[in-house]
A and B are shown apart, each in its own frame.
Chain A
Amino acid sequence: MKIKPRTFSDYATIGFPAGMLMVFFVIPFGIMIAVSFFQRVQGAFYEPAFVFDNYARFLTSFFGGILGFSIGLAALVAVVSVLLAFPFTYILTRMTRRTQVVWLVFLLSVLSLSEVLIGFGWSTLLSRTAGISNLLVALGVLDKPMSLSPSFGAVMTGMVYQTFPYTVLVLFPALSRLDPSLVEVARTLGSGPVRSFLNVVVPALRNSIVSTLIMVFVFALGCYLLPQLLGKPSHWTLSVLITDQAIYQSNMPFAAAMAVFLVLVSLSLVAISLLYGKKENAA
Chain B
Amino acid sequence: MDDIKKGISRRSVLAGIAGGSAVAMAGIAGFPGIVRAQEKSLKIGAYGGYFKDSFDKHIFPEFTKATGISVESIAQPTGEAWLVQLEQAARAGQAPADVSMISQVSMLRGSAASIWAKLDPAKMPNIENVMPSFINKYDDGSVCGVGAVTWYITLVSNSDVITQAPSSWEELWKPDRAGQLGLLALVTNSFLLDVTAKTYFGGQEILDTEEGIMKVMDKLAELKDNVQLWYRDEAQFEQALKSGEIPMGQYYHDVAGLAAADGYPVRSTFPKEGGINDSGSWAVSKASEKLDLAHVFIDFMSQPEIQTLLSRKVGTSPTVARAKTSLTDAEFASVSSEIEPIIPRYDMYQQRADWLSQKWTELIVS
- The answer to whether A and B touch in the complex, with CB atoms under 8 Å apart, is yes
Known: A150-B228, A236-B365, A241-B361. A248 touches B243 (CB 8 A): no
Verify A127–B364 contact, CB threshold 8 A: no
When the two chains form their complex, are residues A127 and B350 in contact, meaning their CB atoms are under 8 A apart? no
Residue B79 at the chain A interface, CB threshold 8 Å: yes
Establish whether residues B112 and A234, one from each chain, have CB atoms under 8 Å apart when the complex forms: no
Q: Which of B172-189 contact A (CB under 8 A)?
A: 179, 185-186, 188-189
CB distance from A73 to the nearest CB of B (A): 14
State in angstroms the CA–CA spacing of A251 and B105 once bound together. Answer: 14
Q: Tell me the bound Cα distance from A40 to B357 in angstroms.
A: 14
Residues of B68-89 contacting chain A, CB below 8 A: 77, 79-81, 83-84, 87
Main secondary structure of the interface of B (DSSP, over half): helix
User: Which one of B179, B232, B354 lies within 8 Å of A249 (CB-CB)?
Assistant: B354
Contact A229 B236 (CB under 8 A): yes
Chain B interface category by residue count: 35 or more
Partner of B236, one of A123, A246, A250: A123
Do residues A248 and B354 form an inter-chain contact, with CB atoms below 8 A? no
What is the bound-complex CA distance between A129 and B112, given in angstroms?
Answer: 47
Which of A42-50, A178-186, A200-208 is near enough to bind chain B? A42-50
> A11 on the interface (CB 8 Å rule)?
no
Partner of B80, one of A123, A128, A247: A247
* Residues in chain B near residue A93, CB distance under 8 A: none
In chain A between 201 and 247, which residues have their CB closer than 8 angstroms to a CB of chain B? Answer: 228-229, 232-234, 236, 241, 244-247
Q: Is A147 an interface residue (CB 8 A)?
A: yes
Whether B366 sits at the interface, judged by CB under 8 Å, is yes
A136 to chain B, nearest CB (A): 16
B243/A233 in contact, CB under 8 A: no
Is there contact, CB below 8 Å, between A150 and B229? yes
Q: Is the CB of A248 within 8 A of B245?
A: no
Beta-carbon contact of B77 and A247 below 8 Å: yes
Residues 351-362 of chain B, each 1 if its beta carbon lies under 8 Å from chain A, else 0: 101100110011
Which residue of chain A lies nearest to B110 when distances are taken between CB atoms in the complex?
A44
Which A109-161 residues sit within 8 Å CB-CB of chain B? 116, 120, 123-124, 127-130, 147, 150
Interface residues of A in 25-50 (CB under 8 A from B): 40-45
Interface string of B99-123 (1 = CB under 8 A from A): 0000000001100110000000000
Among residues of B, the one whose C-beta sits closest to the C-beta of A234 is B365
Q: In the complex the two chains form, is A130's CB within 8 Å of B112's CB? A: no
- B230 and A232 contacting across the interface, CB-CB below 8 Å: yes
Q: Is B337 interfacial (CB 8 A cutoff)?
A: no
Q: Whole-angstrom distance between the alpha carbons of A135 and B128 in the complex?
A: 61
Once the chains bind, are A244 and B87 in contact (CB under 8 Å)?
Answer: no
Q: Could you name 11 residue pairs across A and B whose Cβ atoms are closer than 8 Å?
A: A44-B109, A45-B113, A116-B14, A120-B235, A120-B236, A127-B240, A127-B243, A228-B233, A248-B80, A249-B353, A250-B84
Closest 8 CB pairs of A and B: A44-B112, A250-B80, A129-B243, A233-B364, A248-B79, A44-B113, A247-B79, A43-B350
- Having A120-B239, A251-B354, A252-B84, one finds 14 other A-B pairs with CB under 8 Å, namely A42-B351, A43-B112, A43-B353, A57-B354, A150-B229, A234-B365, A234-B366, A241-B361, A245-B357, A247-B13, A247-B79, A248-B9, A250-B84, A251-B357
